[in-house]
Copies of this chain bind each other. A is one copy, B any other.
Amino acid sequence: MSSAAKDIAPSAPKTARGARTRARILKAAEDTFGTLGYHRAGISDITRAAGVAQGTLYCYFSGKEEILRELVRDMGHKVRAHLAASVIGARDRLQAEELGLRAFLEYVSANPSLYRVLQEAQFVDEAIFREYYEAFGRGYMRMLADATRKGEVRPGNDEIRVWALMGLSNFLGLRFALWDRDRSFDEVVATISDLFRNGLALDGKEKA
C-alpha cells in the first residue's frame, strides 16, 4: 500500500488547454460510471469517451479512485447549490421542505449519473461518502434549528431527524425519479408534506 508514485496526485493543469482536457475526462468519467458503474468502467472506457489517450488521464489524476473522489466533491457542491437556490423565498421551513424535495427529485432525474456515482462511492471510499452526507447534514441541521427558534418546527433531536430526512429523500429519488417516473413529483411532494405537517397518526397532536 506504500507504492512509490501512486498516491502523489499529478499537478494541476497550467494552461487553459490542460484545464479543458481535465474537465473533458471528468465529464466522460461521470457518464461512463453512470452507465457502466464504477467497477465495470475501465480506464480505457473513460479515455475513449473523452477522446484522449490512456496516458493523458494520468497527467491529471492518479487513477480511477481520485476521479471518483473529485466527482463526489463536485456533486456535493452542485446539489447543495441547486437545493439552496430552490428554497429561496420559502415562507417557512415546511414550505422549504416541499421545495427542496421537489428540487432534489428534479436534480436526480436530470443527473442520474452523479446520483449513482455518489452511492457507489460508499464502497470505494467510505470517507468521501460520509463527508458528503455530513456536510449536507450540517447545513440541514442549521436550518432546522433556525426554524425551531422561529417556532415553525417542533423541538426535537435534529441530528436524528436530519438523517431520517436525508434517507427519505434518497429512497424517494431512487424509486420515483431514477427507476420509474410512474408518480408525479407533485404526488410525492404532497404525500411527504402531509407527513411533515400532520404525521402518520390519525388522531391529533398530543400537545397543542
- B199 A197 Cβ-Cβ under 8 A: yes
B39, B159, B176, B201: which contacts A154 (Cβ < 8 A)? B201
Tally of contact residues, A, Cβ under 8 A? 54
The listed residue (B38, B120, B156, B174) touching A191 by CB distance below 8 A is: B156
In the bound complex, CA of A175 to CA of B208 (Å): 32
Interface residues of A in 154-169 (CB under 8 A from B): 154, 156-157, 159-161, 163-169
> Closest residue to A37 on the B side, CB-wise?
B123
* Contacts A151-B202, A159-B183, A187-B157; A164 near B195 (Cβ below 8 A): yes
Q: Nearest chain B CB to A172's CB is how many angstroms away?
A: 6
Whether a CB of chain B sits under 8 angstroms from the CB of A196 is yes
Contact of A204 with B by CB under 8 A:
yes
Residue contact B167 to A130, C-beta cutoff 8 Å: no
Q: In the complex, what residue of chain B is closest to A119 when comparing beta carbons? A: B122
CB distance from A24 to the nearest CB of B (A): 25
Task: Please list 13 pairs of residues, one from A and one from B, whose beta carbons are closer than 8 Å in the complex, sorted by A's number.
Answer: A39-B123, A94-B201, A153-B202, A160-B176, A160-B188, A160-B191, A167-B168, A170-B171, A195-B195, A197-B199, A198-B199, A198-B201, A205-B205
